[in-house]
């Protein structure tokens, strides 16, 4: 499987991380993965909600250094 596409949204407030995730999912192939890194605490709520509404799945949420949060998101395969 290919490496996830990295989307670094650190330093941006919601809805920017979610908008960048949406753009990445639109260009990802079915089954493709996106690794979104954000540091806005609201992303912990917004990203899973958006992914669910977009038919994607959040495979993991990991707390990182300096308050960052990493989301591994998979685009739904047909």
pLDDT, one tens digit per residue, over 33-51 is 999 999 999 999 999 999 9
Q: Residue 65: what pLDDT? A: 84
Q: Which CATH architecture has domain 5-74?
A: 2-Layer Sandwich (3.30)
What is the rounded CA–CA span in Å between residue 25 and residue 48? 13
**pLDDT at 68 > cutoff 90:** yes
**pLDDT at 1 > cutoff 70:** no
The model carries a pTM of 0.94
CB atoms within 10 A of CB 39: 18
pLDDT confidence band for 56 (50 / 70 / 90): very high
Q: Residue 73: what pLDDT? A: 98
**DSSP codes, the chain:** -PPPEEEE-TT--TTHHHHHHHHHHHHSPTT-EEEEEE--TTHHHHHHHHHHHTT-EEEEEEE-GGG-EEEEEEPPP-
């Amino acid at each position: 499987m290919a490496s996830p596409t990295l989307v670094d949204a650190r330093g941006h407030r919601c809805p920017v991380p979610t908008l960048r995730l949406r753009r990445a999912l639109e260009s990802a192939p079915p089954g493709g993965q996106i690794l979104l890194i954000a540091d806005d605490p609201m992303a912990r709520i917004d990203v899973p909600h958006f992914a669910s509404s977009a038919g994607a799945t959040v495979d993991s949420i990991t707390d990182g250094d300096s308050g960052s949060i990493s989301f591994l998101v998979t685009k739904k395969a047909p």
